Amino acid sequence: MSTSRGARQPTIKEVARLAGVSPMTASRTLAGGRNVRPDLQERVLAAVRELGYYRNENARSLRPGQPSGLIGIAITNLANPYYGNFALGVEEVAAEHGRRIILGNTGEDDARERQLVSDFIGRQVDGLILVPVSGDAAHLKPERLGEVPLVLASRRVPGLDVDTVLLDDVGGAYRGTVSLLDAGHTRIGFLGNRSSVFTGERRFRGYEQAMTERGVPVDPAIVARDQQDVAAASLAAKAMLDRDEPPTAIFSANNRNTIGALREIGRRIREGRSGPRPAIVSFDDFELSELMPVPVTVIDHDARLLGREAATLLFSRLDEDVAVPARTVELPVSIEYP
């Protein structure tokens, strides 16, 4: 019986010894076998199999200039399928480039983001992809990051001039709101993130712009901008719909708010309440939107693509020219009518 935790990982020395060669020959073999006699390679590879050897990537990356092969990615909420897909997009492109991702969840917490970034750098990540919590930028400044390139996704950080992938938040929100106005709605509620969140601000701006342009006043009584999760969004929708002059349509600035609003609307329908059944425009797609009991217009965009784009930006800086100035890619959104 072996020990409970199995044996220590074998090292390249042990492989070499078993193969009867020097560690260098083993190392060279593992590096591709340039300048190593085929028969020795055979013996090394046999020893590798025999011992179950894995090259220690950490030791490998210790030597300066050697990349760690890790991309650090910090997102704000993994429970949101949107960010799951985002991470998947990054992971796909990273895998294509032979990199692994190391993932952390900030939960919209500034301190946690700082901690994650430190840790990532301490692990010698080759690059960093961040959906920033916003707040201040001190810990993301290039001088703090050393050589590690950073790409921001979804949101920009004030005062930070780095590669960024954004959505056309303003345009999408504008067009979505216009579609409601075109349908004759004038009492249009707003559900979204607090304005300190970059997308929350931008999407509200698009909404506001459309309303103002058409001469429809924005009524603060049916604007709720502080919901981060489904439960809070439900409550906000409820409050709005319980008013004397409830909205006939609701613009929801993100997935979580949309689900919350629909949950509340569904509850009212099931309870047989007569009240209004507001039309919805949702920034962010969600599954089965076509089956909802009220018409849902979706401002659709592909989280996975956003992730792929962010990763592409990162690898272009990593593998190609490094001196180009910071770029911003703004991905289009598409409006899907019910």
Q: Using CB under 7 A as the criterion, which residues of the chain lie in contact with DNA when the complex forms?
A: 8-9, 11-13, 21-25, 27-28, 30-31, 35-37, 40, 55-56, 59-60, 62-64, 66
Q: Which is nearer to a copy of itself, 107 or 135 (CB)?
A: 107
Measured from the CB of residue 338, what is the shortest distance to a copy of itself in angstroms? 10
Measured from the CB of residue 1, what is the shortest distance to DNA in angstroms? 23
Q: Which is nearer to DNA, 58 or 195 (CB)?
A: 58
Residue 63 binds: one of a copy of itself, DNA, none (C-beta under 5 to 8 A by kind): DNA
Q: Which is nearer to a copy of itself, 117 or 170 (CB)?
A: 117
Q: Which is nearer to DNA, 62 or 111 (CB)?
A: 62
Write out the residues near a copy of itself by the rule CB under 8 A: 2, 4-9, 52, 54-59, 61-62, 64, 68, 70, 78-81, 83-85, 87-88, 91-92, 95, 100-105, 116, 118-119, 121-124, 142-149, 230, 259, 262-263, 266, 270, 286-288, 290-293, 304, 322-323
**In which residue are the tokens 């409830």 written?**
246
Rounded to 5 degrees, φ, ψ at 245 are -115, 80
DSSP notation for 313-329: HHHHHHHS---SPP-EE
Alpha-helical runs (H) found in the chain:
12-19, 23-30, 38-51, 57-62, 81-96, 110-122, 142-145, 169-182, 198-213, 230-241, 255-270, 303-319
Q: What's the rounded Cα separation, in Å, for the pair 307 and 327?
A: 16
Residue 171 binds: one of DNA, a copy of itself, none (C-beta under 5 to 8 A by kind): none
Measured from the CB of residue 148, what is the shortest distance to a copy of itself in angstroms? 8
Measured from the CB of residue 83, what is the shortest distance to a copy of itself in angstroms? 7
Q: What's the rounded Cα separation, in Å, for the pair 121 and 130?
A: 13
Residue 242 binds: one of DNA, a copy of itself, none (C-beta under 5 to 8 A by kind): none
Q: Do the Cβ atoms of 192 and 203 come closer than 8 Å?
A: yes
Q: Do the Cβ atoms of 181 and 214 come closer than 8 Å?
A: yes
Residue 27 binds: one of a copy of itself, DNA, none (C-beta under 5 to 8 A by kind): DNA
Measured from the CB of residue 22, what is the shortest distance to DNA in angstroms? 3
Whose CA is closest to 310, among 195, 173, 155?
A: 155
The one-letter amino acid at 217: P
| Token pair in block for residue 326 | 């910071």
Measured from the CB of residue 322, what is the shortest distance to a copy of itself in angstroms? 5
Q: Do the Cβ atoms of 317 and 163 come closer than 8 Å?
A: yes
